[in-house]
Amino acid sequence: MKNKTIAGFSVTKCSAFQFFKKRVRRWMRSPKVSVDKYQPAHMRNSDTFVSTPTQKDAEPQLWCQSHCQECHLCQVIANTPDVEECAHTKARSCKVNNSTKVMPYLNLLLHTQVLLAKRKHDDEFYAVKVLQKKAILKKKEEKHIMSERNVLLKNVKHPFLVGLHYSFQTADKLYFVLDYINGGELFYHLQRERCFLEPRARFYAAEIASALGYLHSLNIVYRDLKPENILLDHHGHIILTDFGLCKENIEPKGTTCTFCGTPEYLAPEVLHKQPYDRTVDWWCLGAVLYEMLYGLPPFYSRNTAEMYDNILNKPLQLKPNISNAARELLEGLLQKDRTKRLGAKEDFNEIKAHVFFSPINWVDLNAKKLMPPFNPNVSGPSDLQHFDPEFTEEPVPNSIGKSLDNALITASIKEASDAFLGFSYAPPIDSFL
């Protein structure tokens, strides 16, 4: 093994480092993973939806049509901008209606951008997620987007779920205005530290479990838990984000059967195309906890077909460098039979009662009274040290919120507008003011 320095961090060049390096490279190059290619014959040609990070757009254009604006937020964020230079980022930024400044990319995926914006009258920072309607309609994901919007509206009262402040649409794009979280992705920190000590992994797992338990109490199954969807806030607390694969209206004994998720974290029942329930989230929690403790997902293989076979058939292997409580928890969460999985009977109550979490005071945890084991040490909202420079150095187009002169309402624009009726949201005027 060799030591290597990345962004000032000393990283041991080992299997975990190689895994992350190749995983990021694969995501940057491949716009989509073909699931059918790796599925058993009886699962092919079925309705599948697998979430995989994708490569960024080349020079995305953020033109907005003023005639499709739906709510008063458009008067704040989606009017004609004047372009100026944002000194601290060396990137182009936009003044929007003299109220909002749009700054660098925080993330950039195919057909999706996440931008940093600051409302000028109070200097509040927001993350603005921008989605291309055309791409959503092409992949028939309208229901997923509306479900994400609905779930976001329910998250505002939980400390470990990202909150939605506004949502609105233009002729060709959808906008989510979200909490701005700048402590970095859990994946980002795992990439640099290889794995976490058990107390740190326990703290993160407890906050994640609390968030999942809250979603389950609202009859929502998350279905896409992975380190890339877990953020750290400026104090080091967990924030769960990206609710595009959530399934609503799943009662305690209810099931669903859509094939979706991320390959490394798919539960056996999902791969088998069997009906599954809330316990699919506890499997994913086990996979993430395993990755935090060992540096790799539990059944990982570079060969996707082999990885799927491992998930379905390979016994769980646990190295001896964890406590008996951690071993017992992983064995319970990564139980291949969902009816015997930890959480199958009493859901979140089973998880928090496990001996692994005995050091956790759950009331204090949810009140954010427990000191996080790691502080991202950000100097303020404009501190972007935990974001990949590949995204933050990307120039922001000077057309955000700007309408084309004499724009034509085409049939495709009309169809896109009709597909997302009721998407827009703004808080009451008095809370906005």
Which residues are annotated as catalytic?
Answer: 224
Cα separation, 423 vs 168, whole angstroms: 6
DSSP structure string for 231-247 = EE-TTS-EEE---TT-B
**114, 105 Cβ separation under 8 angstroms:** yes
Phi, psi of 260 (to 5 degrees): -155, 160
Phi, psi of 238 (to 5 degrees): -75, 140
Q: Which DSSP symbol is given to 125? A: E
**384, 103 Cβ separation under 8 angstroms:** no
Can you name the residues that pair with 332 across neighbouring β-strands?
A: none
Cα separation, 302 vs 219, whole angstroms: 35
Token pair listed for 100? 């909002």
Cα separation, 322 vs 232, whole angstroms: 24
Cα separation, 91 vs 86, whole angstroms: 6
**149, 167 Cβ separation under 8 angstroms:** yes
Report the helix count and the strand count for the chain, using DSSP H and E: 15, 13
Taking phi first (over 0 means left), then psi (-120 to 50 degrees means alpha), and beta for anything else, what does residue 251 get?
Answer: beta
Residue 82: CB atoms within 10 Å:
11
**266, 305 Cβ separation under 8 angstroms:** no
**375, 236 Cβ separation under 8 angstroms:** yes
User: Taking the mean position of all CA atoms in its chain, how far away is CA 14?
Assistant: 27
Token pair listed for 19? 């895994």
Helix (H, G, I), strand (E, B) or coil at 112: strand
Cα separation, 101 vs 77, whole angstroms: 9
Cα separation, 262 vs 225, whole angstroms: 8
